[in-house]
Amino acid sequence: MKPPSFGKIASSILLVVLGWTLGACSATDRPIEGPTVADPDFGPNVLVFDPSTPDIQKHVDRVFARQEKNQFGSDRYALLLKPGTYNLDMQVGFYTHVAGLGRSPDDVSITGAVRAHAKWMKGNATCNFWRSVENLSITPTEIEIPNMWAVSQGASMRRVHVRGDLLLADHGWSSGGFLADSKIDGEVLSGSQQQWFSRNCNWDEWIGGNWNMVFLGCANPPAGEWPERPYTVIDRTPVIREKPFLFVDEIGRYSVRVPALRAETRGITWAGDVSNESPGGTSISIEHFHIARPDRDSAETINAALRNGKHLLFTPGIYRLDAPIRVPHPGTVVLGLGYPTLVPVNGSAAISVADVNGVTVAGILIDAGSIPSISLLQVGDPDSSLFHATDPTMLFDVFCRAGGAIVGSSKSLVTIYSQDVVGDNLWLWRADHGKGAKWLINRNENGLIVHGDDVTMYGLFVEHCHEYQTIWNGDGGRAYFYQSEMPYDPPYQEAWMHDGVHGYASYKVADHVRTHEAWGLGIYCVFWAAPIFADTAIEVPEHPGIRMHHMITIRLNGQPDSGICHVINDRGEAVMYDKRAVVK
């Protein structure tokens, strides 16, 4: 049954979805000086709350009850909170995006909790994927332990102020998350987190660490050095423009804030910048966006809007596309709310970005379709040659998968031809469970292929592809934190070999590349289908311009007599029988 659409009522909005009621609010729900503006039509799965909205907790609980275990379901939700003070315990399930609508995180103050736990998996958070929290403050009081954010890949916490402690694990394992531009007044306790990436954050103290924890541009990183402690610390973030965010002004007008490009940064960007009108940043009125909805939009309507110079806001849902979404103009913002999911149905890419300056693609999930694609997301084209260092294309919270929710295949998941592209939290996943997760079905050779020069990746997660997980063909590449698992399911060694080499390295820098640098690389194996070996985890040219820092391999589990023989090229110990090996 299809959820009914919003009915707009001056004092409140009553939303009925699959037989249960959800409340939302319009700008007239709270007294504001002067005229007010009606909320945009974001569709039925964007819930906009005001502090005066009745029964907010009940509405939040109903979304969570629906999404707590909904790992491969089709429901998507964005819960948006207008500026003000709330008393809430917001539990965040699958495909749920919680965001404040203030100019600063402190404009939306929640007393209680905004949390993710893993009760549905008995405390094991290794499958707590696809959820996010942004642009709000939390004063934890609802639970006895610190505010819990027990997540793994495909999750993010951005522009968040926690007025207390933050716990990154439940009672079982957690497996990698992303924290950026956030302030934690108390302690961050990593608990059982196997790996974690933090960028431009402040906290009182970081406690804990297991395998691979990378801190980039953080004001107070933990003490200790690799490999005795699993910490990689880089003092400054070389170049970043923080992820754009939606906000509402004093009379209810919506805009998208695109922060300024910054270089050599350390710590958060928003403290002391209440107006967010820092030089170089821009605010784009929602009127300049095409608001896409899956019940009424197609590739044709979306592309027509983009050709006409509109920015693009995807609302939650599944978009089945018979052609790529083509982004032709410089400076275009493509922003997703509530994990909008794009599915190319004719074997094309889902998104193709022209070789132009300053495009943003943010908050998007792409599923490979049943007709194999060459790539799901393409930036530039093979003839790309322009320089974009002063205004790079940015990819924020971009997640691609082959299999899991639907049966699908793609030769690569993301292919970058343009120069100077910056990625900030990418999870590229060939499914190891769910629909179509079999060696001969969800075929996917590579996760990321980089052809452009001077491409930078912050928080890169690539897993289970059939061949190289990541191939770097461009010079000047940089990767800060890399988490990868080799494919679980090669049926026999001969099925996973090339040129007499056992298996494929996870991270491959092409032989012709002369400059490349990476920090904090963790590569793991679980060969459960057969005794399988990979000769090496990382394969790079032996050249002075290739500099690789802090690498680890771990055999997590699998068949006896299986594992990874070397960490990088022919160096580093073999990992067999649940061992680990490190190289500085």
Q: What is the mean pLDDT of residues 562-579?
A: 91
Greater confidence (332 vs 580) lies with: 332
Residue 68 annotated as catalytic: no
Residue boundaries of the structural domains of the chain = 13-241
Return the biggest CA–CA distance within the chain.
Answer: 74
User: How sure is the predictor about 582, in pLDDT bands with cuts at 50, 70 and 90?
Assistant: confident
Residue-level pLDDT at 578 = 66
SS (H, E, C) 406-456: CCCCEEEEEEECCCCCEEEEEEEEECCCCECCCCCCCCCCEEEEECCCCCE
**Out of 51-60, 97-106, 142-151, least confident range:** 142-151
The pTM of the whole model exceeds 0.85: yes
Q: What is the mean pLDDT of residues 207-223?
A: 96
Residue-level pLDDT at 581 = 83
pLDDT of 21 > 90? The answer is no
Residue in 445, 467, 485, 539 annotated catalytic = 485
The Cα-based distances of 499 to 55, 495, 496 in angstroms read 63, 12, 11
pLDDT of 392 > 90? The answer is yes
In the chain, pLDDT over 70 holds for what percent of residues?
Answer: 91
The Cα-based distances of 392 to 15, 262, 331, 357, 421 in angstroms read 40, 11, 9, 6, 5
| Cβ contacts of 400 within 8 Å, gap of 6 or more | 365, 366, 367, 368, 376, 377, 410, 413, 414, 426, 427, 428, 429, 447
pLDDT of 18 > 80? The answer is no
- The string of pLDDT tens digits covering residues 487-508 is 999 999 999 999 999 999 999 9
Residue-level pLDDT at 580 = 82
CA-CA-CA-CA torsion sign (156, 159, 163, 165)? positive
User: How sure is the predictor about 38, in pLDDT bands with cuts at 50, 70 and 90?
Assistant: confident
The Cα-based distances of 517 to 235, 486, 509, 544 in angstroms read 15, 21, 10, 11
Instruction: With H, G, I as helix, E, B as strand and everything else as coil, classify residue 307.
Output: helix
- The string of pLDDT tens digits covering residues 265-294 is 999 999 854 333 445 699 999 999 999 999
- The string of pLDDT tens digits covering residues 105-152 is 999 999 999 999 999 999 999 999 999 999 999 999 966 678 999 999
| Cβ contacts of 567 within 8 Å, gap of 6 or more | 536, 537, 538, 551, 552, 553, 573, 581, 582, 583
pLDDT of 34 > 70? The answer is no
User: How sure is the predictor about 16, in pLDDT bands with cuts at 50, 70 and 90?
Assistant: very low
- The string of pLDDT tens digits covering residues 430-480 is 999 999 999 999 999 999 999 999 999 999 999 999 999 999 999 999 999
- The string of pLDDT tens digits covering residues 329-365 is 999 999 999 999 999 999 999 999 999 999 999 999 9
